[in-house]
Structure 1
Amino acid sequence: MRFRNLGSGSGGNSTLVEASQGITTTRVLIDAGFSERELTRRLALTGCTPADIDAIFITHEHGDHVGRSVAFTRRHRIPLITSRGTWRAIGCEDFEASLLCIARSGEAIALGDLELQPFAVPHDAHEPLQLCLSDGAVRLGIVTDLGSAPATVAEALRGCHALLLECNHDEAMLRSGPYPPSLQRRILGTHGHLSNKSAADLLSRCRHAALNVVVAAHLSEKNNSPALVRGALAQVLACAAEDIRVADPASGFDWLTVG
């Protein structure tokens, strides 16, 4: 199994996960927070076309995650997977039922060479879900929008061989930055976004000997910096700061193998 991020930030979020077993290959997009044209362009950079995508999983209804995914899936006949709450918030009543799969926290979804394992997170959206994926040998955890990490989240991520982990903001930068107090309170709240400190704490609870790929994602361009993120996570992983990977807000990162 391998994964590649197509962009991670307020401008749009999407991660491509690929697994192969013998002669078969399964590809799923986690979020698709771009226009149809832009998503197609970014897929082309990975060597894929819309026809190569087996499903799109939408974590929640915010625009930088859902983008034009409904129109994209309809145009290219790609199944869309999301929670009932997210689907209601998206508000598309005439979508073809055969293309929609309702996901529930704690209920695994079989998709070709992959098993999708959604889990609930605290975020200011309607029934948001984040995701672990397994090919039967290794597990990848993707957790990019949550304001806090209760024990249920740490438990869902335990045993992952790779993590794509939100490190949205540095608290000091956020409090002294340009955002108005109301937006600061939202981001800092239990249903906002993870700070570097909170992300490091979650990582410390999930760390184990077989966790060998960790990528920081969803960094705020105004309230964080790669250097601060690398310092926070390197301390947990007992590695050099330059060893910590950080997803570029505009371009994501190239293919990484899990395990």
Structure 2
Amino acid sequence: MRYTSLGSGSEGNALVIEARAATQRPTRILLDCGFGVREVVRRLVARGIEPESLDAILVTHEHGDHGSGVARLARRYGIPVHSSHGTGIALRLPDETGVRWRPICSHTRFEINGLDIRPFPVPHDAREPTQFVFSDGRARLGVLTDVGSATPFILDMLTGCDGLVLECNHDPALLAASSYPPSVRARIAGNYGHLSNSAAAAILAAIERDRLKHLHAAHLSRQNNQPELAAAALAAVLNCNPAEILLASQQDGFDWVEI
């Protein structure tokens, strides 16, 4: 199994997960589409992916940086969309002509062409937000972005992953000194907002990490965080050099990683 980020941040998010088998074509899943169709296609092609080859689009929640391009991409290329019921309703997917929406339960695992997908609910200020763990039977990839606080269920779901994409949205001091209105700062820092670097580090410290080979700091705020701060917070938990922490950028995401 391998995965790549097409971009991560408040201006757009998209992640591709690919599971390969010797006897059939790869299964490719697009997790979120917070870019316009032309831009996400450009980013897909840059990773060697034709949009027609996507087997499904999964959506974590309805906020524009994750869901704004979902319906248009799905309609143009005939890609089915999977999301929680609340997310689908918030994105008006049942009303989108030509979109094949497939509601999922945020507590029930399912498969797409042999790729095991385990959704789990998270505290975030959206209709029914969901994050995911993916497995091809040999390796596990955990994705946790857009979450305000940890829960025991989140920690249980992320235990034993080989790869982990983990939100490090903000540094509390930078957020407090930012030009954001007080109400926005409070929302971001709240239990239904986004993870700070230290909160992400606490989650990392609380999960079993014996199999963890690749860790990516994701969804960094351009104004309220700095890459070196996020890397340092996670590296302190792993007792490694901060340079070993991979960063998902807004402009380029990160290239293919195999687990």
Same fold, TM-score > 0.5, yes or no: yes
Q: Which residue of 1 aligns with 2:6?
A: 6
Residue 111 of structure 1: aligned partner: 112
Structure 1 residue ranges (4+ consecutive) displaced by more than 4 angstroms after TM superposition = none
Deviation of 1:219 after TM superposition, in Å, equals: 0.2
> 2:188 maps to what in 1?
187
Q: 1:92, 1:27 → 2: CA distance? A: 21
The normalised TM-score by structure 2 is 0.97
Q: Quote the residue 1:176 is aligned against.
A: 177
Q: Which runs of 5+ in 1 are unaligned?
A: none
Structure 1: how far apart are the matches of 2:5 and 2:84?
A: 22
Residue 106 of structure 1 deviates from its aligned partner by 2.0
What does residue 21 of structure 2 align with?
21
Instruction: Please tell me whether residue 35 in structure 1 is matched to residue 36 in structure 2.
Output: yes
Residue in 2 aligned with 1:208? 209
Does the CA contact (< 8 Å) of 2:3 and 2:256 recur in 1?
yes
2-structure distance, mates of 1:176, 1:48: 41
The number of residue pairs the alignment matches comes to 258
Q: Deviations over 1:39-85 (max 9, x none)?
A: 11110001111111000000000000002211210111101000000
**Deviation at residue 209 of structure 1 after TM alignment:** 1.3
Contact 1:174–1:184 under 8 Å retained in 2: yes
State the SS of the aligned residue for 1:9: coil
* Counterparts of residues 62-141 of structure 1 (less than 5 Å): 62-95=63-96, 99-141=100-142
In 2, Cα distance between equivalents of 1:169 and 1:233: 13
- Aligned-pair identity in percent equals 45
The answer for the alignment partner of 1:244 in structure 2 is 245
The alpha-carbon deviation at position 98 of structure 1 amounts to 7.9
Letter in 2 for 1:223: N
Matched AA of 2:148: G
The two structures have a TM-score, normalised by structure 1, of 0.97
The answer on whether the counterparts of 1:121 and 1:130 sit within 8 Å (CA) in structure 2 is yes
Distance across 2 between alignment mates of 1:118 and 1:178: 35
Q: Hey, what's the Cα distance between the residues in 1 that align with 2:253 and 2:28?
A: 17
Tell me the distance in 2 between the aligned counterparts of 1:50 and 1:202: 34
Q: Does the 8 Å CA contact 1:51/1:76 hold for their aligned counterparts? A: yes
Q: CA RMSD in A?
A: 1.2
| Structure 2 unaligned regions, length at least 5 | none
The 1-side partners of 2:172 and 2:99 are apart by 44
Relative to structure 1, is the Cα distance of residues 207 and 240 closer, same or farther in structure 2, using a 3 angstrom cutoff? farther
